[in-house]
Amino acid sequence: MQSSKPTHLKLLATAIMTVALGYVAQPAFAQDPGGSGTPQTSGPTGTPATTGDGGSADTTGAIRNGDQVDGGMAGTDANRDSIDAEDFIDEASAKGVAEIESAQKALEQSQNDQVRAFAERMIKDHAAANEKLAKLAADKGLEVSDEATLMDKAKTLILQARDGESFDAAYANNQVNAHEQTIELFERASRSEDAEIAAFARETLPKLKEHLEEARKLVEATPDT
């Protein structure tokens, strides 16, 4: 395994903080000029189905079938193998960027106080986690994705609301699925042979599980109409 170039890691860390700080500085919300408050949507989802290995998921999946909220953590298996440190940092960083991007959309398009409060927490918590991941990579001399590659990986995870779909409902669904996948990834990392990676994963898991529970409550609070 090659050592990372200093500029490589600086780009990653700078990109993460630029995204986070830029989003915190956004206006309270983007108001519809016509005053209707109708959120804009961006067309078909097109996101891939879950791979069971911490990969991409259909982030706007039908959680509400029969008005039932999926209370399980899909794909979680305590006996799954762990994950390589370099792969974990890449995947976790991409998921963090996707969380920040989706939360920014929520701040721009939603006027629901619960949705906006949740989105603000996602920006804060996932930016902090990604900053720690970048430092871990630098300290361990790991070669990780540069800014362009990281953003490309995140694109498949970022919320894309369907035409005619309530944005708030789509975001809530997105967050349940996204956090189920992220928890699965961190559960695998918690069994890593790399002690620092395992410790970071175990330290972060409780907060991710809090996010998941909050996202499930958000599903209940945002009717799909």
Split into its structural domains, the chain has a count of 1
Domain for residue 154, yes or no? yes
* CATH number of the domain enclosing 125: 1.20.1260.10
Q: What are phi and psi of 146, to 5 degrees?
A: -80, 180
Let me know: does 98 contact 81? Beta carbons within 8 Å: no
Structural domain of residue 109, as residue ranges?
A: 85-221
Let me know: does 213 contact 205? Beta carbons within 8 Å: no
Residue in 130, 110, 131 with CA at minimum distance from that of residue 41: 110
pLDDT confidence of residue 165: 76
pLDDT confidence of residue 225: 59
pLDDT confidence of residue 82: 81
Domain for residue 19, yes or no? no
Domain for residue 211, yes or no? yes
Q: How far apart are CA 49 and CA 56, in angstroms?
A: 7
CB-based contacts of 108, cutoff 8 Å, min separation 6: 26, 29, 30
Q: How far apart are CA 187 and CA 190, in angstroms?
A: 5
Residue 12 has a CB neighbour count (10 Å cut-off) of: 26
pLDDT confidence of residue 152: 86
pLDDT confidence of residue 80: 56
Q: How far apart are CA 125 and CA 132, in angstroms?
A: 11
Spans in the chain with pLDDT lower than 70: 1-80, 164, 225
The predicted-structure confidence for 184-225, as pLDDT tens digits, reads as follows 999 999 999 999 999 999 999 999 999 999 999 999 999 775
> Taking the complete model, does pTM exceed 0.75, yes or no?
no
Domain for residue 53, yes or no? no
pLDDT confidence of residue 195: 94
Domain for residue 11, yes or no? no
